[in-house]
Structure 1
Amino acid sequence: MESVDVIDQRGLAYFRIRGGVPAYTNKPEGWHKGGGGMKQVPNVDLPETLFVRWQSLVEPKTYKLRIDIPQWVRDEMVKPQRAYCPGRKQWRDKQYRFDISIGMAPGGIAKAWVGGPCLSNIEIGRYQAKVDPRGPFEGQSGGKYYYLSDEAKVYVEQHGIPYGSW
């Protein structure tokens, strides 16, 4: 992931709040359904629009996507929930779905979920990104992508990319 930018419900913009490296769940087909590398973003109100930019290393292509967050998601984020926390083996009041996870896949497919501690993730939607013609790192890398590990290269050569699974 190269970047995530956010416009909150007050209309304030926050740029490059998240970037990162590829993650893999040892299951190339389907979705992990939320979670993963997180970053807290202080002083941001409820999200209205997310702009996501990522590299698909197996293709290689760079994708960009705008996700408009529906009102029902913001409503869900401020609604206190009672939830069972398996780690603590107890019920907890006033749990909130305060994070949004975004899964990105080859072909420019993305999904988003809203979730929180002890609460299940709820799918927000499935999206089709567009190829960014500037390429990796907004055209600042001379066309060079983040590297694909040797192990991943071998896997893709042997099994292909499971495009239809996302």
Structure 2
Amino acid sequence: MSYLEQTKDTNNFLEVLVQDHKRYMPIMEFLDNLTQQKSELTWEEREMISLEVSKANGAEFCIGIHSGMLRAMGSADNKVAEEKIKPVLAFANKLAKNSNQVSPEDIKILRKAGWNDQTIEDIIGLVSAISIYDILSNGFGFKASLPQEVFEQMGQGTLEAGGFVAQFKSFIQ
């Protein structure tokens, strides 16, 4: 339940976004732009990064969303198998928690792992977008109030719709 009077009757964070969809659609479009564009990162890797960021920010509702997306994608245990993504997750965690402490060495580590500068920019943008959602969710006071199955259904719907904006528009209707 939301801490705010105007949204106190909403059951979850997604309802707040849908209720005021004109306000929040640009953030959804930004997220879609970051997750749907061509990149070295797969959508699944982007969701792994998103989950790492939401964990770093303690955003329970968003953790549920990203976990549901990963389960819908077939990532049963949400563990990273590839060595190449591990430094990305460490960087995403640091950026989410202490962005003022990011250093040239952090970027060198990502390059050494095989990521190019455009992908590093994509990671920075994704961490920023997910942090916006995490802060909103935490600020409103939402916890993971939906069952895991619902988060997975939402993830499956997002995959089938081809992105977050299309799924969001279906919730608006």
TM-based fold match above 0.5 = no
Which fold has the larger relative contact order, with Cα–Cα distance below 8 Å and residues 6 or more apart in sequence?
2
TM-score (ref. length: structure 2): 0.22
> Which of the pair is proportionally richer in strand?
1
> Which of the pair is proportionally richer in helix?
2
TM-score (ref. length: structure 1): 0.23
